[in-house]
């Protein structure tokens, strides 16, 4: 059973939430609080709230009030109804809320929020990992370039020239794109310094993942840590190229190679988020293994990808790459990531049955 909490007196918002909860009464339960005070005085509900909706347009509350509200729902998908067209309003809430919606909130949008909240609640990560995510105070915002790119890619006859024109407005993306494409791991016969050719080679979906990764520019990282931040970013890009190279040597087709590359890029996203939230490269959360058997940063990556509505296969591939998967969604991709890292380290650890499955799947051992 999932629970949604609404703070505010907006009758339209309350009606929409009541209607959806009635339609899905076996899954969702709703609670309403007219003011911040009434919510804060209620019995602690933090571990029970899956979706928190705060009416920022009709509820008077200080920034400290909002911080306290969110503090009592650390594991929930936290949404504020506000005026997201103004950058200063959005930036002022980045430390507290995951998502922003305007007064035009409708049933379709609300259903999407319910769906994402349910996916977050069902994400197979441990309590310690959820607390790590709940303690983050600086959530990355989807970059404007990504929004523009999505709109462009939605056009039926989009051309690589048009995409190149858009991407050319961000020098960081352009420089990293050429760095990746001309890397020996990508497997292209010749180098290119033509942006349109580079984009065609990388593929639109891989380009989209690169744009998302580079959105974390380390703006809140201390000056003395910037070099370490860039080193981690370079490491992520190199590991993604190595994973794609391993997929190619194992006989994967171009589509699967791209999916491996995308999952590898997005796997490292959690490291950058943790660095931006004050962690250091040597901290336990950024290492490859925790008590659950995987790097905690992978749980952060999976949480954010789920929050933003990424497909299940990429979330599963990111989350499950710490060991061999016999089956399940995204298993082929996560197994490739697992073996690529082990191959790079020269220490592939598989039992007899897993080894036979890997060889049958075409993996190079």
Displacement of CA 89 from its chain's centroid (Å): 22
Which of 71, 101, 122 finishes a domain? Answer: 122
Q: Is residue 163 part of a domain?
A: no
Residues 228 and 347 in one domain: yes
> 198 lies in a domain?
no
The residue among 106, 122, 138 that closes a domain is: 122
Same domain, yes or no: 118 and 230: no
Same domain, 90 and 220: no
Q: For position 25, which CATH number holds?
A: 3.40.50.2300
344 and 228: one domain? Answer: yes
Domain carrying residue 88: 2-122
Mind listing the pLDDT tens digit of every residue in the chain (365 residues)?
A: 899 999 999 898 999 999 999 999 899 999 999 999 999 888 876 668 999 999 888 877 787 888 888 888 888 888 888 775 544 444 455 567 877 777 777 888 888 889 989 998 899 988 888 888 888 877 776 677 888 888 898 898 888 899 999 999 888 888 888 888 888 777 787 888 889 998 998 899 899 888 888 876 655 566 667 788 888 888 899 999 999 999 999 999 988 999 999 999 999 889 988 988 888 878 888 887 655 567 789 999 998 888 877 889 999 999 999 889 988 888 999 999 999 988 887 777 888 899 999 998 889 88
Contacts of 183 (CB under 8 A, 6+ apart): 238, 241
Kindly state whether residue 178 falls inside one of the protein's structural domains: no
Q: What's the token pair of residue 233?
A: 């970013």
Starting at the earlier edge strand, list the strands of the sheet with 2-7: 28-33, 2-7, 51-55, 77-81, 99-101
Q: Is residue 271 part of a domain?
A: yes
Q: At which of 61, 89, 122 does a domain end?
A: 122
Does residue 177 sit within a domain? no
Specify the DSSP element, H or E, that contains 28: strand 28-33
Q: Domain count of the chain?
A: 2
- Mark whether 356 and 220 lie in a shared domain: yes
Residue 89 bridge partners (DSSP)? none
């Amino acid at each position: 059973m999932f629970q949604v909490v609404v703070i505010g007196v907006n009758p339209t918002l309350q009606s929409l939430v009541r209607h959806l909860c009635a339609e899905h009464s076996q899954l969702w339960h709703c609670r309403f609080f007219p003011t911040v005070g009434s919510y804060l005085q209620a019995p602690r509900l933090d571990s029970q709230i899956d979706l928190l909706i705060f009416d920022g347009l009709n509820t008077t509350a200080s920034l400290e009030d909002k911080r306290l509200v969110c503090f009592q729902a650390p594991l929930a998908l936290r949404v504020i109804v506000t005026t997201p067209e103004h950058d200063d309003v959005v930036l002022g809430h980045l430390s507290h809320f995951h998502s922003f919606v305007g007064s035009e909130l409708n049933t379709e949008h609300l259903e999407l929020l319910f769906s994402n909240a349910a996916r977050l609640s069902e994400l197979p990560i441990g309590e310690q990992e959820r607390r790590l995510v709940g303690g983050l105070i600086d959530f990355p915002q989807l970059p404007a370039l990504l929004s523009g790119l999505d709109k462009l890619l939605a056009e039926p006859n989009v051309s690589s020239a048009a995409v190149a024109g858009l991407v050319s407005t961000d020098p960081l993306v352009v420089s990293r794109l050429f760095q990746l494409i001309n890397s020996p791991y990508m497997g292209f016969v010749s180098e290119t310094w033509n942006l349109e050719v580079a984009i065609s080679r990388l593929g639109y979906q891989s380009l989209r993942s690169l744009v998302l990764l580079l959105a974390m520019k380390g703006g809140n990282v201390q000056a003395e840590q910037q070099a370490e931040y860039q080193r981690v970013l370079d490491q992520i890009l190199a590991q993604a190229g190595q994973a794609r190279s391993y997929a190619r040597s194992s006989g994967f087709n171009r589509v699967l190679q791209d999916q491996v590359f995308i999952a590898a890029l997005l796997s490292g996203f959690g490291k950058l988020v943790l660095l931006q939230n004050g962690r250091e490269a040597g901290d336990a959360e950024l290492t490859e293994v925790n008590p659950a058997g995987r790097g905690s940063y992978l749980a952060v990556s999976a949480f954010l990808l789920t929050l933003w509505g990424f497909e299940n296969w990429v979330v599963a591939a990111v989350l499950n790459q710490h060991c061999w998967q016999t089956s399940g969604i995204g298993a082929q991709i996560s197994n490739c990531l697992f073996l690529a890292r082990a191959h790079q380290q020269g220490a592939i650890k598989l039992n007899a049955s897993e080894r036979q499955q890997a060889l049958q799947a075409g993996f190079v051992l």
